[in-house]
Structure 1
């Protein structure tokens, strides 16, 4: 069982990481500006799924194995970097295409956004490093390790959801500006550059 002081300490420690723009924020801005507030839902769910995936790996001890295998960690890091660069390239490409009609903006699109968010987190070395280095600092001996790690992942996911929902509300307040094709194109291209930059940074870190 997770102790209250451990959860509070982890929350404070994770705040700067969450406030740093990353793949989830980039995806949120990109999809909310093109598809409205409902696009925030698959981004949030995908982000939470990715965080729980890292927590599960930490519980299973696989993250520790990667830490002690330079080759395995390099493979994970490069896979994540390649995905972010590829996603950035795809995002840039989509800015040159007209926005699909509302009838095409349905469940298939939501599933695609969800998968993007999951992969952006699962293949993100920064997210992995949190569960390799930061989370163990808040695990209290004598209690269930699995319960504590999953509890901390819940704190992480909840705080991330609050952060992304706050930005969703801010983007919605600027709905008139968001509806302008030029603004969406600029946001899309900025998002593409950020994703590629994150990927290159992950590959060289």
Structure 2
């Protein structure tokens, strides 16, 4: 059983390290508002994963993955949200958060909410959990227990990886705070988020 857990952890680690919308969102929040805001965003992302994990263990995520209509609605909502975040980044590219009136974004709820919604509206996680976790779950445990264990492992890996990434960004924040650098990063992040949104919207289910 332990060998299976270690093997599954390796697969989940590789999937966690692949850059995606989460990294783009965390980059924007950490660079614009600092380490604490970045970590709150990571917390929201983990809450989104926990939500999908709980639905998977309960068997509800499989219903979404099997329903083309519901999957399409969630997919388009998630794609729209990513594009919305991308457009926001482009609109405010290079502007000082204090000048453009984004002090409200410093509130913990905003950062938590951004991370949570970006994952809660990502049906690919439901497909990933319902399609992959049962195959990786240790055979020595009941299926629900095995999948719950792997969800916990995935949450821990995500927290460690994105938390470390936020720490690295915060150490270099003085560099990213330069107006020219901040503007270039905002534009890059905006384009990346919109590209991810289009990719999610056009991806085959």
Deviation at 1:190, TM superposition (A): 1.1
Q: Deviations over 1:116-165 (max 9, x none)?
A: 10011111233222212111112245634333222211111111111112
Is 2:34 the counterpart of 1:36? yes
Kept in 1, the 8 Å contact 2:31–2:176? The answer is: yes
Q: Secondary structure at the match of 1:98?
A: coil
Deviation at 1:193, TM superposition (A): 0.9
CA distance in 2 between partners of 1:50 and 1:23 (Å): 13
Question: Does the C-alpha gap of structure 1 residues 145 and 196 become closer, same or farther in structure 2, counting only changes over 3 Å?
Answer: same
Q: CA RMSD in A?
A: 2.3
CA distance in 1 between partners of 2:91 and 2:105 (Å): 22
CA distance in 1 between partners of 2:125 and 2:135 (Å): 16
Q: How many residues align?
A: 202
Q: Unpaired segments of 5 or more residues in structure 2?
A: none
Deviation at 1:106, TM superposition (A): 7.0
CA distance in 2 between partners of 1:43 and 1:108 (Å): 11
* Over 4 Å off, 4+ runs: 104-108
Kept in 2, the 8 Å contact 1:50–1:121? The answer is: yes
Q: Secondary structure at the match of 2:107?
A: helix
CA distance in 2 between partners of 1:47 and 1:73 (Å): 20
Q: Secondary structure at the match of 1:33?
A: helix
CA distance in 2 between partners of 1:58 and 1:176 (Å): 41
CA distance in 1 between partners of 2:182 and 2:138 (Å): 47
Q: Scaled by the length of structure 1, what TM-score is found?
A: 0.87
In structure 2, the residue matched to 1:14 is 12
Is 2:133 the counterpart of 1:145? no
Q: Scaled by the length of structure 2, what TM-score is found?
A: 0.87
CA distance in 2 between partners of 1:78 and 1:125 (Å): 10
CA distance in 2 between partners of 1:196 and 1:150 (Å): 32
CA distance in 2 between partners of 1:119 and 1:179 (Å): 27
Kept in 2, the 8 Å contact 1:47–1:157? The answer is: no
> Which deviates further from its counterpart, 185-194 or 86-95?
86-95
Q: Secondary structure at the match of 1:100?
A: coil
Kept in 1, the 8 Å contact 2:8–2:137? The answer is: no
Q: Unpaired segments of 5 or more residues in structure 1?
A: none
Is 2:196 the counterpart of 1:198? yes
CA distance in 2 between partners of 1:181 and 1:38 (Å): 21
Is 2:63 the counterpart of 1:70? no
